[in-house]
Structures are given as C-alpha cells and as structure tokens.
C-alpha cells in the first residue's frame, strides 16, 4: 500500500511531538507511566544488632534525630564517650537518640568482645544510650547502613573512630561530624537543636 507524502508527514510530526513530550516531562522531573515511581530510601529502613541481645531498629526512632557514632575502646577519642553521655542527658527528653556502633576497623582499637565493650562504655564512662554489636563500618563488608550513608555522602565516610552521622527526623543525613569534633562542640549542639525543632514542627 502506498502512503502519500501528506500522510507520511503527519506521522512524522506525531512521532516528534511524542518524543518532545517525553523529554519535557523528564526535564520537569515527571516520570512516564512505564518508568514508575521510586521512593528515596532513608536510615529508618536499617537495623543494628544490639550489643546484648535483641536489635536496634532505626524505624523505632522515626521523626526523631539520631546520632550514630562508630566507637572504639582503645582509641585516643574514647573519652568522647563522656561527651556523648552529656549530649544524651541534655537532649534525650527532647527526642534525641544516640547509638554507639563499636568497630574494630580503625587501628584494631576494638579487639574485645561484649564484656570488654560494656566495661569501657558503660562502666568506665557511664554510658546509658544504646550500644550496637561490634560492626564493620567500611569496605565491601560494611553494615548496610554504612553502605547507604557512603552512597548518600561519599565525601563524608568514616575515616577513624568516633565519626558522627546525624540523621534528621526525615531519616536522611542532616549533618556529619569528623572524629576530632567533640560531642558537646557548639556545631553539634546547634545541629541537634535544629533537628529537634524541625521534628517538633513536623508533628504539629
């Protein structure tokens, strides 16, 4: 069957219009029906094993800020446990959660087991916030939370013990603090105060 030039031109214009519409939708951040919609993953989808039984499900603290700190018992920064406990005492009633994540990844400075970790954190420094089981926080075998955090903030991955991720009430990384930054540093306190305020507004 022969198609005249006028009909062929009509088909060509229709095809161009369809392609242009698809490109415009993509530029506007819209998805085509075939592409579907994907929700952004948040920290609330992760769980840590607890130091002594059970688990620490981050979803239990949804809509509240969480400070997640990879810790070690034999590190020069180990005294930061005291500052973390101060932070916990200051903000706990306002919704802050702190989770210590012991790790032997840096300098092999967390070589012991459950009793050794508890002795340092809970008995020497009086820690009362939750402590996870010893965890790998970097490399291909890292805990899923740390893999997710590395993908979210590749320039802010842990480089030593007592690196701090502040998770906002929306489950995304709100701020990151290097090992050298003390828990009671003004920048940390300000960031937590800001996130607590944001979490409070979202519940009203």
Three-state SS annotation for 158-176: CCCCCCEEEECCCCCEEEE
For 65, the token pair is 């800020």
Residue 2: the pLDDT is: 42
Note whether 199 and 178 are within 8 A (CB): no
DSSP string, 73-139: TTSTTTTHHHHHHHHHHHHGGGT-EEEEEE--TTTT---S-HHHHHIIIIIIS---S-BBPP---SS
Residue 13: the pLDDT is: 40
Residue 178: the pLDDT is: 98
- Per DSSP, the three-state class of 2 is coil
Q: Kindly report the CA angle at 121 between 49 and 145, in degrees rounded to 5?
A: 30
Q: What is the pLDDT along the chain (204 residues), one digit of tens a residue?
A: 444 544 444 444 444 344 334 333 333 333 333 333 345 899 999 999 999 989 999 999 999 999 999 999 999 999 999 999 999 999 999 999 999 999 999 999 999 999 999 999 999 999 999 999 999 999 999 999 999 999 999 999 999 999 999 999 999 999 999 999 999 999 999 999 999 987 656 655
- In terms of CATH architecture, what is 43-203? 3-Layer(aba) Sandwich (3.40)
pTM given for the model = 0.80
Give CA 114 to chain center in angstroms: 24
Residue ranges per structural domain of the chain: 1-33, 43-203
Within a 10 A sphere around the Cβ of 17, how many other Cβ atoms?
10
**Quick one: DSSP state of residue 1?**
-
Instruction: Give the active site residues.
Output: 75
Contacts for 111-115 with beta carbons within 8 Å, 24 or more apart? 111/74, 112/73, 114/51, 114/52
Q: Is 157 left (phi over 0), alpha (psi -120 to 50) or beta?
A: beta
Residue 198: the pLDDT is: 75
Name the phi and psi angles at 194, rounded to 5. Answer: -65, -45
């Amino acid at each position: 069957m022969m198609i005249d030039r006028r009909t062929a031109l009509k088909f060509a214009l229709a095809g161009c219009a369809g392609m242009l519409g698809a490109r415009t939708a993509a530029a506007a951040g819209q998805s085509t029906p075939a592409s579907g919609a994907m929700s952004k993953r948040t920290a609330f989808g992760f769980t840590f094993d607890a130091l002594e039984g059970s688990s620490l499900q981050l979803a239990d603290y949804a809509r509240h800020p969480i400070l997640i700190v990879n810790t070690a018992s034999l590190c020069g920064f180990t005294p930061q446990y005291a500052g973390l406990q101060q932070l916990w005492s200051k903000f706990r009633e306002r919704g802050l959660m702190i989770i210590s994540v012991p790790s032997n990844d840096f300098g092999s400075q967390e070589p012991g087991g459950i009793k050794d970790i508890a002795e340092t954190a809970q008995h020497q420094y009086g820690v009362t916030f939750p402590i996870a089981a010893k965890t790998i926080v970097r490399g291909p075998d890292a805990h899923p939370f740390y893999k997710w955090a590395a993908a979210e903030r590749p320039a802010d991955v842990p480089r030593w013990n007592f690196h701090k991720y502040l998770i906002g009430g929306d489950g995304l990384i709100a701020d990151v603090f290097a090992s050298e930054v003390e828990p009671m540093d003004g920048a940390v306190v300000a960031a937590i105060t800001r996130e607590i305020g944001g979490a409070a507004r979202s519940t009203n």
